[in-house]
Chains A and B, each alone.
Chain A
């Protein structure tokens, strides 16, 4: 079993819909939770960064962390075609020197 599980998709939604992405993990030591966006043939770029449990909002993006369930989510409101990309969750813990453990990524397609 992988340490971080993420549905590969693709997840196809109409423009304007809410995109809901999630990851589950097994390592209870993870404290830092990140979402990266990766466009085709590009490097990942950091979208959201959360420490421990709770919610964080940044514009159209909301990240949620539920450490008791070992489950994190990313919501994209009012989705745009430019949101079409692969979204990678990543996690780390301080004891491991904050080396990131990534999920496999979910491919998202927002159709105009």
Chain B
């Protein structure tokens, strides 16, 4: 099985432009998460979804939005990108809410100029 796939692998984006990072899982996991990883700061939770149709804010949600129309997909949208959103973005999933074990995708490297 593929597990979690993310697209694109990397992207250079002009400030002020919008972009959607895609995340798809084939494990039928209920819970999904978006993190950003920055040097020295580790992984920080942006948004999460406990189940299809619900979403919640994490530690650093400002400037990002998510949707969860179905179990498999959890896109992350930057409505108007700023240079501080330059980061590596990881999507993750867990079988259900309350399970500490999370499975991560390969990441998207985003540079905002």
Residues of A within 8 A of B (CB): 4, 6, 8, 32, 34, 36, 41-46, 49, 88, 90, 92, 94, 97-100, 102-105
Contact present for A44 and B90 (CB under 8 Å)? yes
B107 x A41 contact (CB < 8 A): yes
Assess whether A44 is in contact with B104, with CB atoms less than 8 Å apart: yes
| Complex contact A42–B106 (CB within 8 A) | yes
On whether A98 and B100 interact (CB within 8 A), knowing A42-B106, A43-B107, the answer reads yes
Bound: A44/B91 CA distance, A: 10
Choose one: A41, A88, A94, A99; the contact of B48 (CB below 8 Å).
A99
B8 CB to closest chain A CB (Å) equals 14
Residue among A34, A42, A46, A99 facing the most chain B CB atoms (10 A cut-off)? A99
B contact residues, range: 20 to 34
Task: Give Cα A49 to B10, complex, Å.
Answer: 31
B residues at A contact (CB < 8 Å): 4, 33, 40-45, 48, 50, 58, 90, 92, 97-107
User: Which residues of chain B have C-beta atoms less than 8 A from A92's C-beta?
Assistant: 100
Q: Chain B's interface: helix, strand, loop or mixed, by majority?
A: loop
CA distance A6 to B107 in the complex (A): 22
Partner of B104 from A45, A94, A99 at Cβ < 8 Å: A45
- B43 contacts across to A, CB distance below 8 A: 44, 88, 90, 100, 102
- With a cutoff of 8 Å between Cβ atoms, the chain B residues found around residue A103 in the complex are 42
Q: B102, A46: Cβ atoms under 8 Å?
A: yes
Closest CB in chain B relative to A50 CB, distance in Å = 10
Q: Could you say which of A42, A43, A105 contacts B42, with CB atoms under 8 Å apart?
A: A105
A–B pairs, 24, beta carbons within 8 Å: A4-B42, A6-B42, A8-B40, A34-B101, A41-B107, A42-B107, A43-B4, A43-B92, A43-B104, A43-B107, A44-B43, A44-B104, A49-B100, A94-B98, A97-B50, A98-B98, A98-B99, A98-B100, A99-B33, A99-B45, A99-B58, A102-B43, A104-B40, A104-B41
